[in-house]
Amino acid sequence: MSKQIKIILASHNENKLIEFENILKKFHIKPLLLKNFTSIVPKENGKSFEENALIKSRFASKVVNHSMPSLADDSGLCIKNLNNQPGIYSRRWSEDNDYVKAYNKIKNSLEKKNITMNNQVAKFVCVLAFIDIDKKEHLYKGTLEGRIIFPPRGIFGFGYDPIFVPNGYNKTLAELKPSIKNSISHRRKAIKKLLSNKLFKI
C-alpha cells in the first residue's frame, strides 16, 4: 500500500479543500488546510494569478517551517468582454463570499457596455504554486473555456460555478456532478501538470 503524502494547502476555504481532496485522494496525497496551523491570512497583493499563488504558498511553507510541501491555488473567472475581469479579483467581487453580489456586479458591468450577460465568452483560470521541502518553487496553470449564463443554475460546486457553462456541455458546473466537474476543471488540469513532474517524495 502506498504511503500517504501530506501537504499544506494554503487556503482557509473548505470548499476548495474538498475539491482538492477529491482530485488528489487516488494519488494518496492528503491536503491539510492552512487554518489548521494558523489563523493568519497572507495579503494577496500580487498583480497576477502567479504572484498571488506564490505569496500564499511561500507563507504556508514558512508556517510549517518547510516540513512538508506547500500548495497554493489562485484562480478566478475571466470574462472576455470585461477585459478578463473579475480575474484575480474574483473573490473580492463576491464581498465576503456573497456570490449573488458578484453575479449582479458582472451583469451590471456588462449592461453598462450594452452587452447581455448570457453566452459571454469566459474562462476559469487556475495557477498552482508548489514549494517542495527543498524550497524549490514550481508553477502550473490550467484553464477551462466556456461561457457565462444568467440566472444562476445548479446546486453543486461553489463560487461562480452556477453561472459558468464549460464548452461541450449544456449545464453549468454547478449542475454537473462533482465527479464530472473534477475531471474537467481548470484546477484538475493544473494538478495534472503538477503530478506529471513527479515532485512528491515518498
Q: Active-site positions?
A: 74
Question: Are the C-beta atoms of residues 29 and 21 closer than 8 Å to each other?
Answer: no
Phi, psi of 24 (to 5 degrees): -90, -15
Write out the three cell numbers for 42. Answer: 497572507
Residue for grid cell 464548452: 167
- Nearest Cα neighbor of 70 from 146, 135, 1 is 135
- Between helices 186-196 and 14-24, what is the axis angle to 10°? 50
Question: Are the C-beta atoms of residues 165 and 172 closer than 8 Å to each other?
Answer: yes
Question: Are the C-beta atoms of residues 178 and 156 closer than 8 Å to each other?
Answer: yes
Q: Are strands 70-79 and 120-131 parallel, antiparallel or unpaired?
A: antiparallel
Q: How far is residue 172's CA from residue 160's CA, in Å, rounded to a whole number?
A: 10
